[in-house]
Amino acid sequence: MLGLKATMSVIDNTGALVAECVNVLRNPSTRGLARVGDEIVVVIQKAKPIAHTTGNVSAAALAARVRRGDVRRAVVVRTKKEIQRADGRVVRFDDNACVLLNNKKEPAGTRINGAVSQELRHHGWSKILSLAPKVV
What is the rounded distance in angstroms from the CA atom of residue 2 to the CA atom of residue 20? 10
Q: What is the pLDDT of residue 63?
A: 59
Query: For residue 50, what pLDDT band results from cuts at 50, 70 and 90?
Result: confident
What CA–CA distance (Å, rounded) separates 132 from 110?
10
How many domains would you assign to the chain? Answer: 1
CB 3 within 8 A of CB 32: yes
Q: Is 33 helix (H, G, I), strand (E, B) or coil?
A: coil
- Burial letters 113-122, b for 16+ CB under 10 A, else e: ebbbbebbee
In a domain, 1, yes or no: no
| CATH value at residue 61 | 2.40.150.20
Asked if the structure places residue 83 within a domain, the reply is yes
Whether 110 contacts 58, CB under 8 Å: no
Q: Rounded to an integer, what distance in angstroms lies between the CA atom of residue 90 and that of residue 99?
A: 23
Residue 98 is assigned to a structural domain of this protein? yes
Geometric angle at alpha carbon 36, from 34 and 37, rounded to 5°: 95
Give residue 31's pLDDT: 80
User: Does residue 109 lie in a domain region?
Assistant: yes
Residue 25 domain flag: yes
Q: What is the pTM of this model?
A: 0.88
Residue 54 confidence (pLDDT) above 60: no
Strand pairing class (97-100; 7-10): parallel
Give pLDDT tens digits for 82-106. Answer: 999 999 999 999 999 999 999 999 9
Is there a domain that residue 2 lies in? no
For residue 64, being part of any structural domain is answered with yes
| Boundaries of domain holding 127 | 7-135
CB atoms within 10 A of CB 51: 8
* Residue 57: pLDDT over 70: no
Averaged pLDDT for residues 55-60: 62
pLDDT beyond 80 at 29: no
Q: Do the domain assignments include residue 117?
A: yes
What confidence tier does 22 reach under pLDDT thresholds 50, 70, 90?
Answer: very high
